[in-house]
Amino acid sequence: MADAADFRRIALSFDGASEHPHFDRRAFKARVTFATLAPDELTANIKLAPDEQALKCAVAPDAFSPLENAWGRQGWTRAILAALTPRELQAALEMAWRRGAAKPRARKPRKA
C-alpha cells in the first residue's frame, strides 16, 4: 500500500515537479498544481480530467472520490493513499502531472 513517502517520491520524480506549501497542505506543481497532500498525509487531492476522474472513481471507489464541491466538478479527486499500490498511485499522479505540465494550446486568431 502507498503512503506519503511514496506520494512525495513519485510526485517529485516527474520532470519540472516541485513541492510548495499550500495553506495547510503541500502542493506539487509542474506548470500548475497537479496534486496536494493532506496535513495528516493519509489522503491527497489529485487533479484529473473529468473523464479520468469518472474512470478512477468507478474502477476503485474505495481509493478515489470526487471532492464534494466545485473543485470536484473540475476533476479534483481525493485519493486514499493506503487503498492504492505505489503503481496505481503513480498512474494517477502521472495523469495529473501530464495535464499540469502541458502548456495551454495557443488560440487561433479570429478572422476579421
pTM over 0.75: yes
- The rounded distance, in Å, linking the Cα atoms of 78 and 74 is 12
**Does residue 73 lie in a domain region?**
yes
Supply the pLDDT for residue 100.
87
Going from the C-alpha of 8 to that of each of 12, 19, 90, 105, the distances in angstroms are: 6, 8, 11, 29
The structural domain count of the chain equals: 1
Q: What is the CATH number of the domain that holds 48?
A: 3.90.1150.30
Supply the pLDDT for residue 111.
67
**Does residue 110 lie in a domain region?**
no
Supply the pLDDT for residue 77.
98
Task: Write out residues in the chain with pLDDT < 50, as ranges.
Answer: none
**Does residue 111 lie in a domain region?**
no
Supply the pLDDT for residue 106.
65
**Does residue 68 lie in a domain region?**
yes
Question: Range of 87's domain?
Answer: 4-101
Query: CB under 8 Å to 60, separation ≥6 — which residues?
Result: 83, 84, 88
Supply the pLDDT for residue 36.
98
**Does residue 112 lie in a domain region?**
no
